[in-house]
Each structure stands twice: as C-alpha cells, then as structure tokens.
Amino acid sequence: MDADVIVVGGGINGLWTGFHLTHEGKKTILFEQFPYPHTRGSSHGQSRITRSSYASEEYVAILPEANKHWKELEKETGKKLYLDIGCINMYNMKQTEEEFNSIIQNLKKHQINHEIIPGEQLSERFHGISNDSQYRGIFETNAGLLRADKCLSALQESFKSHGGELRDGEKVLSVVPINQDKVEVKTSIKTYTCKSVVLTCGPFINDLLASVHLRLPVQPIKVTAYYWKEKPGFTYSIANNFPVARDVSARVYFLPSCEYPGLVKICKHSGVAVDDPNTRDVITRKIEEEEKKALEELKSDIGIRFPGIDNSNPAIKETCMYTDSPDKNSILDFHPEHSNIVIGTGFSGTGFKTSPTVGGILAAMATGKQCPYPLEPFSLNRFNQ
C-alpha cells in the first residue's frame, strides 16, 4: 500500500483532514490538481470570517473545537492566523427575527460570549455603521478574521513536517474501490493504492465521483469578492479596532482592511450558478446581467449600512467559488456503496471557519474511528426524504 489514506483536494478542508491524519501517525498522501498557490477553488484569498452565530445548532456545537485547533496551528507553526477582532451580526427584526432568536438561544446554550446591541446604538459602538431602529445587533467577542492564505500555507507546512506526502500539480482522474480495505487512485502521473480515500474536491466533486457512479446535488457558484475605498474621515481598519460585520438581512458581509491598505472587503453572500467550475470565467450574457444586478444591489446596501465607504465603484474584484448544497448545509458522508470512500463537500460559502473540526470528522470516518458529533444533519440521506 502506498498510504493508509489518500486525500483528494488540497483546499482548506482537505488540508485539515491531512493534518489530523498525520498527527495520528497515518501514512497520508494528499493530491491537489493545481500547483500551489492557486485561485481556482474556494479557499484562496487573504481573509475569511469566523463566528459562532448560526441558527443551526450543529455548527455552533463544532465551532469551539475549530477555534481551539486554529490556535494550536498558530502555536505549532509560529504564524498569526486568527485575528479575534470580534464580529457584529446585524438583523432587520422585521425580516429575520426568527433567525435572531434561534441564534441567541444557541449562543446562550453553548456559553458563547455575546452582547445584544440595539439598532439605535450601532454607530456609537462602531463608527462607520449606520443606526437603524429596525435592526438589532449581536456582537461576538471571540470571533473575527482568519488569514486564509496563511492558514493554507501553515497547514501545508505542518502536514509535510508530520510525514504527509503533498503532491500538488497532480490531478486524480479516477478512484476504484477494489474491496473494503483497498482503493486504487489513478492520477495524471500513476496509480496509487490505499486503505481509504477522502474526497474534498470542492466544486469539482462530481467530476471525480463519476468514476464511482455517484452524482451529488451540489451546485458550483461563481462568487465575486469586492474591495472598496474608505471615504476621508473613516478608518475601517483592524488597527482601529474595527470588527468584521454582517448585515444578515441584506446578505452582506464586511471585513476591515487587511490585505489591501485602505480597502475593505464587502460582498454579497451569493453568486451566479455555473455549469462547470473548470470554465467559470466564461462570461455569458446571463452571467453578465446577473453579476451587474447583484453589484448594483450591493452598492445600494453599502450606501445604507456603511456610510464611510465610497460605493461608486469597487477598487478591486476577485473571483472565487462556492459549492452549494440544496439546503446550504455541508455534506459529510460515506459513498452509499463503499465505506472506504469518504466525501466532504457542499460547504456553501461558509466552510472555512469549521474546517479544523470537519477535517477531524473526515479523518475519523476514513480510519473507522467514532465521531464525537452527530452526523445526520450532514448525511446524504437527507436529500432522499
């Protein structure tokens, strides 16, 4: 056997899976189709939000462990990865009161530090966010910004230093289950054997699953990240203690200036469905129109919520991908017919923050260990009901 476990896909979820496997002494090979660093999947870029404000309790339950692992990785690699600058989540109580109430209930139950801020006091607390009496805010103190590219490189370093074999620029073409204890993995270079495989292929998952006669109901989504200039008199920077922010009702999220000085990242938590992630940059008239409409909406949302941002035009735009599942929840499960093929996908635009715990879950599944979390909410079965 070439490995105990082969991981296919070197985004954040595959890398955390590799991290846990190697830390448990498993012989592990990780394949990434593109040479590192690349911008073709979902995990690139400088920043991601981490927070615990979820209405679904299964996410709130796995986040404390994720946060602990981010800090451990910082210690192990000596890199600053997690900036706990806080997160202000804002809800229009006419539209999203139910979600607000579920979140408060979950935060209380899991003893996660938070403070409720009336909409009339938002601008006093955060200079540069507008007051709105229809809104209420939840400020989480143990939340903030993950330095995404640095997280990826720290994990690559840790994986290799614990004996993992990292093979980027090598695409897996097919997976062939031989029996319960053996899988063949055919790549663009040669064929490898292992006891089990973990497929963390992001939006490309169905290309590879075709080799094991499975197609998942996931949709690749092309997403645009926009960066905007501050107006004179406003400083939305980390140095100025500005937290990450979300206008949940408008589906808008905000990260203070970090990667580009003086530019803040403000985006819609949505994008445009594309048939094939390999050709995501081909612009059809439909895509062009949808993107234009979404940008106009975003400009208007920025004008309302962030008065210190010049919303006339974004200064920088970058492309990324979501892999949406039908209910926007992750898929963590075995292939229905092969218990040594484990699948982790469908992270639907929220899978960076949870990846340390998710990687541990996928590693446990691949090595026959008991998983400490209920997996029904993430199962494939839920789509058959």
Ligand X SMILES: Cc1cc2nc3c(=O)[nH]c(=O)nc-3n(C[C@H](O)[C@H](O)[C@H](O)COP(=O)(O)OP(=O)(O)OC[C@H]3O[C@@H](n4cnc5c(N)ncnc54)[C@H](O)[C@@H]3O)c2cc1C
Instruction: Please identify which residue in 32, 132, 301, 324 interacts with ligand X, judged by CB under 6 A.
Output: 32
Stretch that binds ligand X, among 35-43, 71-79, 90-98, 371-379 (CB under 6 A): 35-43
Considering only 243, 256, 314, 349, the residue that binds ligand X (CB under 6 A) is 349
Total residues at the site for ligand X (CB under 6 A)?
A: 36
CA distance linking residue 360 with residue 372, whole number of Å:
10
C-beta of 234 vs 322, nearer to ligand X: 322
Asked if omega into 37 is within 30° of 0 (cis), the reply is yes
- Pick the stretch among 64-72, 286-294, 317-325, 333-341 that binds ligand X (CB under 6 A): 317-325
Asked whether position 220 contacts ligand X by CB under 6 A, the answer is no
**End-to-end CA distance of the chain, in Å?**
39
Q: Is 11 in the site for ligand X (CB under 6 A)?
A: yes
**59-67, 83-91, 200-208, 288-296 -> range binding ligand X (CB under 6 A):** 200-208
Using the minimum distance from each CB to ligand X, give the nearer residue, 123 or 165. Answer: 165
The SS3 call for residue 164 is coil
Of the candidates 163, 147, 156, the one whose C-alpha atom is nearest the C-alpha of residue 25 is: 163
Q: Could you tell me which of 248, 287, 253 has the C-alpha nearest to residue 271?
A: 287
Residue from 3, 32, 9, 1 nearest 202 by CA: 9
From 39-47, 57-65, 289-297, 369-377, span contacting ligand X (CB under 6 A): 39-47
Per DSSP, helices labelled H in the chain are 12-23, 57-77, 93-109, 122-125, 148-161, 205-209, 285-305, 355-366
Select the residue interacting with ligand X from 5, 6, 7, 13 (CB under 6 A): 13
Of 81 and 321, the one with the shorter C-beta distance to ligand X is 321
Residue matched to tokens 């994008």: 271
Q: How far is the CB of 330 from ligand X (least distance, A)?
A: 8
353 CB-near residues (< 8 Å, 6+ apart) = 48, 49, 50, 51, 63, 66, 146
Instruction: Tell the smallest beta-carbon distance from residue 137 to ligand X (Å).
Output: 18
Tokens read off for 154: 């720290």
Site track 251-290 with ligand X (rule: CB under 6 A), x = hit: ----------------------------------------
Contact positions toward ligand X, by CB under 6 A? 8-14, 31-34, 40-43, 48-49, 171-172, 200-204, 208, 223, 225, 320-322, 347, 349-353
